[in-house]
Amino acid sequence: IPSRQSLAGMVGMRGAVSPKAGLFGKAAQEIRDILRAEGVAKMPLGIDLVEPPFLFALQELGIEVRDGQQVMLEARMLKSQDELTLLNMAAAMVDGVYQDIFEALKPGA
């Protein structure tokens, strides 16, 4: 995924950064600029999770924000063959660790 298509969503680190720091406004302006560059500035922006100060910053710039959570939840249910392979590998690794733990916990081991 090109880096311009993958931006941090929790700008304020879930309350750790004050809105007064200006990060929300700067991020909202960056989003607006991307929307303009892509020719979709007048279209609504779907967001699945958002911090309220970031939502307000987007709205202050005239960006219409819509609930995109259900769409994203449905999209996350789809897996490519590569994703399925990686999930199976991860599960096998966990199974191996559980077997090691089982062996280590035997009396006298």
Flag whether pLDDT at 28 surpasses 90. yes
pLDDT, position 5: 63
Q: What's the chain's length in residues?
A: 109
Work out the pLDDT band at 29, boundaries 50, 70, 90.
Answer: very high
Q: Which of 29, 17, 20 minimizes the C-alpha distance to 60?
A: 29
pLDDT, position 31: 93
Query: pLDDT (tens digit, 9 = 90+) per residue, 44-103?
Result: 999 988 899 999 999 999 999 999 999 988 888 889 999 999 999 999 999 999 999 998
Prediction pTM value: 0.63
Bridge partners (DSSP) listed for residue 67: 47
DSSP assignment of the chain equals --GGG---S-TTTTTTS-GGGSHHHHHHHHHHHHHHHTT-TTS-EEESS--HHHHHHHHHTTPPEEE-HHHHHHHHH---HHHHHHHHHHHHHHHHHHHHHHHHTSTT-
pLDDT, position 1: 62
Query: pLDDT (tens digit, 9 = 90+) per residue, 12-27?
Result: 766 777 778 888 999 9
Token pair in block for residue 31: 């989003």
Q: Which residues contact 26 (CB under 8 A, 6 or more apart)?
A: none
